[in-house]
Amino acid sequence: MRTTRTCAALAALLALPTAVAAQAPPTAAEAKTFVDDADAQLLKLSTEAQRADWVKSTFITDDTEAIAARANEVLSSIQTDLAKRATRFDVVSVPDDVRRRLLLLKLYAVVPAPPDPAETAELTRILASLEGTYGKGKWCRPGADGKEECLDITALERLMAESRDPKVLQDAWTGWHAIARPMRKDFARYVELGNKGAAGLGFKDLGVLWRAKYDMPPDAFARELDRLYEQVKPLYVSLHTYVRRKLREKYGPDVVPAQGPIPAHLLGNMWAQTWDNVYPLVAPQGADPGLDLTARLVAKGMDPRGMTKAGERFFTSLGFAPLPATFWERSLFTKPADRDVVCHASAWDIDFADDLRMKMCIQVTAEDFRTIHHELGHNFYQRAYNRQPFLFRDSANDGFHEAVGDTVALSVTPAYLKQIGLIDAEPDPSKDVGLLLQMALDKVAFIPFGLLIDQWRWKVFSGEITAANYNAEWWKLREKYQGVRAPTPRSEQDFDPGAKYHVPANVPYMRYFLADILQFQLHRGVCRAAGQTGPLHRCSVYGNAQAGERMQKMLAMGVSRPWPEALAAMTGEKQMDATAMLDYFAPLQKWLDEQNKGQTPGW
């Protein structure tokens, strides 16, 4: 039987008065009532959409995609209607908190609904289909027994991390990227419809709307990103130069050039976004600290739930309350054998109060151990601000949400691992270069990738990049910022951006770039609060109440104040600053400079 609950809610909300032209001039009291009502409406509809999205992501079928699309269609329509009506109060003098909620209401949707209801329905169907196409994606090859073997992205990520056969890596890379080809037409239509929705709220295009969410003019924000990237670029170039030489030694000059970009399939990751899986190929001689965390987790009998429990204990050691019982009952920790799910790790706040969940196809690896700490950072952040008005229930900016979990993961140091019984003794400081190199292959290598995803999308939204050259411009940016190239010839029959989850899933990506910068700045701030004065890369705040107090103060603010104030609450600094990353990797930078003597840097 068809449910009428959502339809009735939509009808009731659309019946609200919208003919504002004939009304008397608005008052501050009306503005306060308006945002309070909007809070309540959005909380209800967002909760319904979250429940539908959870089912769609953990049980992928045409029906669950349709249900989720419908829930998001209702939410998008109402949100866009409220955002347009909020403009009525633009010239009314209201308290600061009301003014901020009115602004956030305009910026609430990632993709505002276009004015035409039929196009809104089309947009939501496209978004559900794009993510579903990604989630169902597989690469099939002949198996050892002659039967076809089909690998999903989880299996392919493992293959890319472990294989050292360049032909196998190239085939896997090419096979996975082929899953995105059918997305191209729908993606182009999504851009068209998304821009219509943004224009309806007064923004030039969807990229301008996305950049308007950072408490500064969109163009000023773009300049801020360039400043941060330039701070880190010399360290990245040094790392790239060193890794290219070591891969050339491994695979030979016919595969890896002495100069120029690195072939993307050789860096241990499907998207070459992080390079830590090639650490065994580039590790300094004699730098192995004997710290194989994956082996230690296996030896300790850790399973996915046990790894998640360990992550929870980090937060409770800082003074946070334990996760609710429903978290353990409702989360998805392992990939079901009987259905397709979106395995990409994510943290969920279903009712924006206490129904916290994590969705992750956990494997017993060091990488997933750290990822769990990251995802739980989202969950503890979500609960910390759940007493704020609904429109303030978010991070200071979206980079902060990603940064908090990563800040905690930076405390997953040998000292921490010893404290929780995963290792018996900390490695000697002489082994720090190896540990820092392994970390840099993750954090530093990610910087340009984190920047270019949305650089590409912003250019697409603005029309600077058209559907006729999606792929060519994608690879121009990959080479410009990352210094990597495709392992096989590409054409406009391909749609390689769609092979990265966040593009078909419509998730803005600049948050991850900001998080990569902010996590080191936040880490430096809490380490100072904890009174630690040693090398920044050796600091762990596990069990430190002062660090926990600083963190909780910032998290509880949500997005109720501009992000510089939140940053100051945790660090004492109001400007984002990449020097904390440089401080963290200072010993490695010195070592890389020595190793790269005689090499041609850059590409």
For 509-564, give the secondary structure using H, E and C: CHHHHHHHHHHHHHHHHHHHHCCCCCCHHHCCCCCCHHHHHHHHHHHHHCCCCCHH
Closest by CA position to 311, among listed 351, 368, 265, 261 = 368
Q: Assess contact for 164 and 265: CB atoms under 8 A.
A: no
From 66, 283, 502, 573, active-site residue: 502
Active site annotation includes 345: yes
Closest by CA position to 175, among listed 148, 209, 152 = 152
How far, in Å, are 104, 142, 144, 150 from residue 147 at the CA level?
Answer: 54, 6, 7, 10
Active site annotation includes 402: yes
Helical ranges in 136-286 per DSSP H: 153-162, 166-177, 184-200, 206-211, 218-251, 279-282
From 345, 353, 415, 568, active-site residue: 345
Closest by CA position to 86, among listed 119, 37, 53 = 37
What is the DSSP secondary structure assignment for residue 89, as one 8-state letter?
Answer: G
What is the DSSP secondary structure assignment for residue 281, as one 8-state letter?
Answer: H
Active site annotation includes 373: no
Active site annotation includes 251: no
Cα Rg of the chain, angstroms? 24
Helical ranges in 16-165 per DSSP H: 28-58, 62-86, 96-107, 117-135, 153-162
From 122, 157, 312, 375, active-site residue: 375
Structure tokens at 404: 């908090």
What is the C-alpha to C-alpha distance for residues 219 and 31, in angstroms, rounded to an integer? 29
List CB contacts of 588: < 8 A, sequence separation 6 or more.
Answer: 433, 436, 437, 440
Backbone phi and psi for residue 531, each to the nearest 5 degrees, phi listed first: 80, 15
Active site annotation includes 374: yes
How far, in Å, are 187, 229, 480, 486, 582 from residue 477 at the CA level?
Answer: 19, 14, 5, 12, 24
What is the DSSP secondary structure assignment for residue 148, as one 8-state letter?
Answer: E
Own/partner long-range contacts of 291-294 (Cβ < 8 Å, ≥24 apart): 291/414, 291/417, 291/423, 291/427, 291/435, 292/366, 293/366, 293/369, 293/417, 293/422, 294/364, 294/365, 294/366
Q: Assess contact for 543 and 371: CB atoms under 8 A.
A: no
Active site annotation includes 502: yes
From 177, 265, 378, 523, active-site residue: 378
Active site annotation includes 344: yes
From 122, 157, 402, 473, active-site residue: 402
Which H/E stretch holds residue 404? Answer: helix 398-410
From 177, 240, 265, 374, active-site residue: 374
Beta-carbon-side half-sphere exposure of residue 452 (alpha carbons within 13 Å): 22
What is the C-alpha to C-alpha distance for residues 320 and 393, in angstroms, rounded to an integer? 18
From 214, 512, 542, 584, active-site residue: 512
From 344, 401, 523, 537, active-site residue: 344
Catalytic residues: 344-345, 374-375, 378, 402, 502, 512
